[in-house]
Structure 1
Amino acid sequence: MDRLNELWARGKEFLGTEYAILGGAMSWVSERHLVSALSNAGGFGVIACGSMTPDLLDREIAATKEMTDKPFGVNLITMHPQLDELIDVTLAHKVGHVVLAGGIPPGGAIQKIKDGGAKVICFAPALVLAKKLIRSGVDALVVEGSEAGGHIGPVSTSILVQEILPHITEVPVFVAGGIGRGETIAAYLEMGAAGVQLGTRFVCAEESIAHENFKKAFIKGNARDAVTSVQLDPRFPVIPVRALKNEATEDFMKTQQDVINKYQAGELDLKEAQLAIEHYWAGALKKAVIDGDVQGGSVMAGQSVGMVKSIQPAKEIIEELVEQAAAHLAIK
């Protein structure tokens, strides 16, 4: 354990935790129960604000604080129309870390959070953006590869870490995407990461409120089942999302083709056609996570889903990862 503690000392100090393991912010999944469980187990839970209103976020943070006295963070989407008010809510609760996701933060957001006494974590999908974010004042970065679940970029974790880790030393860098075992955590730490972020492994935590059907889909799934959404026509952009193949995935392809045919026949204008495709997945994640419709909903999952074998307490998952990492380092 000595070597492991030495390698992620910077990440632990930054997060204020026993282990430098962040919980990935997964909409509908990363709420008070899972977030508090991860923090209580020595990791760092992160509330997924998603499309919550300021009032909803206020209640979620308050409820999480009732369930843990350990540090946790809040993930805010940069394009949320009420970003400013959401920042005010997190600062009012004295949340120590705010994760800004979904694009380059708007001017002033980073400084506002820092002035309010919280640390800012941002995602860096390329070295040039990592450097830009550091100049903007971020306190830490997450490097997330395309193996991750949900909305993803085009580059794999193994490439991103080689591009970014050797060149960024000013702030702690956490690695995410495709991490399912402790040996991989150890390898990234040896490459210079301060810690890691995992989402998929924690979906089947006992404390996760995800529907039983959703958890079963993860346990049955393997890496090849976690595929990215396909775009049929560049005029109709599709934001890449990684999820388990299901009936909705197939239906989405048919929907795109139908909409394209209607556009070409003059039945829809370009904007109407684009919106029809964009709105296909509206509410689809909630349908799967909360309602348990794993055929008609979106079962967002990373490629590490094949390493999710059972429902376990969050504490047990974290301890397993830490033991694997420590054992791997002890062999050397």
Structure 2
Amino acid sequence: MTTYSKTSALMRRGAEFLGSDHAILCGAMSWVSERNLVSAISNAGGFGVIACGAMTPDLLDNEIAETKKRTDRPFGVNLITMHPQIMDLIDVCTKHGVGHVVLAGGLPPKGSVDRIKESGAKVICFAPTLALAKKLLRSGADAMVIEGMEAGGHIGPVATSVLAQEFLPELAEDHLVFVAGGIGRGEAIAGYLEMGAAGVQLGTRFACATESIAHPDFKKAFFRAGARDAVASVQVDPRLPVIPVRALKNKGTELFTAKQREVANLLDGEGIDMGEAQLQIEHYWAGALRRAVIDGDVENGSLMAGQSVGMVKKEEPVADIIAELLAESESALTRR
């Protein structure tokens, strides 16, 4: 077995926290981060994370059970904080003894962090600002993920490199911070580890793995794309606080602009509240992503991808991707 002594030494805290061989998390990608890819990543020494997305508790219950049939290694579950049944979803995770729950999409609702921790599970949160990260850590979060705007899917406004410079000097000594967004090669991993990151999270590099169930046409779109093809959506109505989404530009990008106008008109005419408006937007993304990932409709569906998509050139097994990233990181650290 190949050893990566320098990389492993810098990843030690993160790997021990996750219970994995390497502190490499797979970003939760709806319809992509399911039982097959998640178990493959965990079996290869990384840390797979199920994307719960808009799943009902029953669907999540089945997904966790099926993942456990495929791996005996640790994996996590990503829950969207605005999900109307989040407490029930937490109970499903508890039932299965899930060791790590990732809360994404906004501030955790009251009582959710405590409920997860009561089960003995670890809580991982996302934070767009240093002040919010400190607040979440004081409130019980066990680790943070800082994700830059180079990432695919929902993104914030600040680049990964800037977030790392803000967060890591302040937090890394006493807390576990994983860096995400735009990471496609091991040299970048080495740099963030040297800055104090406990590990990294990648999504786009894993989306087209051999074990990914994504449609062949979805994968081909990734192979053809370059960094400039992964663009962020625009906000049409200032009243509608839509989190930008990075995806490969296609007709689906235009359809989302039209969907925003439709929801904004509902705010005007039918008296729906802002929470319902935001849920409609989230349901749109879930459907658009499914059309691309499962049905292969790469024109009208959503091809969520990070700017590292230009580094995804072919379909390859998860184990090979992880080995390549580790070898690149080790080589970079050795050259220092």
In the alignment, the residues of structure 1 paired with residue 247 and residue 152 of structure 2 have an alpha-carbon distance, to the nearest angstrom, of 6
Quick one: which of 43, 49, 56 aligns to 1:40?
Answer: 43
**3-state SS of the aligned residue for 2:243?**
coil
Tell me the residue number matched to 2:320: 316
Tell me the residue number matched to 2:301: 297
Say yes or no: does 1:238 pair with 2:242.
yes
From the superposition, tell whether residues 250 and 141 of structure 1 become closer, same or farther in structure 2 (CA, over 3 Å): same
Tell me the residue number matched to 1:132: 135
Deviation at 1:329, TM superposition (A): 0.4
Quick one: which of 193, 197, 200 aligns to 1:193?
Answer: 197
Tell me the residue number matched to 1:167: 170
Quick one: which of 106, 111, 121 aligns to 1:108?
Answer: 111
Q: TM-score with structure 2 length normalisation?
A: 0.92
Deviation at 1:253, TM superposition (A): 4.0
Moved more, 80-89 or 37-46: 80-89
Deviation at 1:269, TM superposition (A): 2.4
In the alignment, the residues of structure 1 paired with residue 262 and residue 164 of structure 2 have an alpha-carbon distance, to the nearest angstrom, of 40
Tell me the residue number matched to 1:181: 185
Gap runs ≥5 in structure 2: none
Quick one: which of 151, 154, 159 aligns to 2:154?
Answer: 151
Tell me the residue number matched to 1:210: 214
In the alignment, the residues of structure 2 paired with residue 259 and residue 55 of structure 1 have an alpha-carbon distance, to the nearest angstrom, of 29
**3-state SS of the aligned residue for 1:283?**
helix
Say yes or no: does 1:18 pair with 2:32.
no
Tell me the residue number matched to 1:249: 253
From the superposition, tell whether residues 270 and 183 of structure 1 become closer, same or farther in structure 2 (CA, over 3 Å): farther
Tell me the residue number matched to 1:221: 225
Moved more, 92-101 or 246-255: 246-255
CA displacement 1:286-305 (0-9 Å, x = unmatched) = 11111100100111000000
Question: 5 Å matches for 1:29-108?
Answer: 29-108=32-111
Deviation at 1:239, TM superposition (A): 2.6
Tell me the residue number matched to 2:269: 269
Q: Which amino acid aligns with 1:182?
A: G
Q: TM-score with structure 1 length normalisation?
A: 0.93
In the alignment, the residues of structure 2 paired with residue 34 and residue 254 of structure 1 have an alpha-carbon distance, to the nearest angstrom, of 33
In the alignment, the residues of structure 1 paired with residue 6 and residue 262 of structure 2 have an alpha-carbon distance, to the nearest angstrom, of 57
**3-state SS of the aligned residue for 2:30?**
coil
Aligned length: 328
Deviation at 1:281, TM superposition (A): 4.3
In the alignment, the residues of structure 2 paired with residue 110 and residue 256 of structure 1 have an alpha-carbon distance, to the nearest angstrom, of 32
From the superposition, tell whether residues 273 and 107 of structure 1 become closer, same or farther in structure 2 (CA, over 3 Å): closer
**3-state SS of the aligned residue for 1:201?**
helix
Gap runs ≥5 in structure 1: none
Tell me the residue number matched to 1:284: 288
**3-state SS of the aligned residue for 1:120?**
strand
Q: Which amino acid aligns with 1:299?
A: L
In the alignment, the residues of structure 2 paired with residue 108 and residue 255 of structure 1 have an alpha-carbon distance, to the nearest angstrom, of 33
Moved more, 73-82 or 251-260: 251-260
Q: Which amino acid aligns with 2:130?
A: L
| Contact map agreement 1:61 1:93 (CA 8 A) in 2 | yes
Moved more, 171-180 or 272-281: 272-281
In the alignment, the residues of structure 2 paired with residue 79 and residue 104 of structure 1 have an alpha-carbon distance, to the nearest angstrom, of 9
**3-state SS of the aligned residue for 1:43?**
coil
Tell me the residue number matched to 2:12: 9
From the superposition, tell whether residues 41 and 78 of structure 1 become closer, same or farther in structure 2 (CA, over 3 Å): same
In the alignment, the residues of structure 1 paired with residue 137 and residue 157 of structure 2 have an alpha-carbon distance, to the nearest angstrom, of 22
| Contact map agreement 1:17 1:42 (CA 8 A) in 2 | yes
Moved more, 110-119 or 316-325: 110-119
Deviation at 1:251, TM superposition (A): 4.0
From the superposition, tell whether residues 35 and 281 of structure 1 become closer, same or farther in structure 2 (CA, over 3 Å): closer
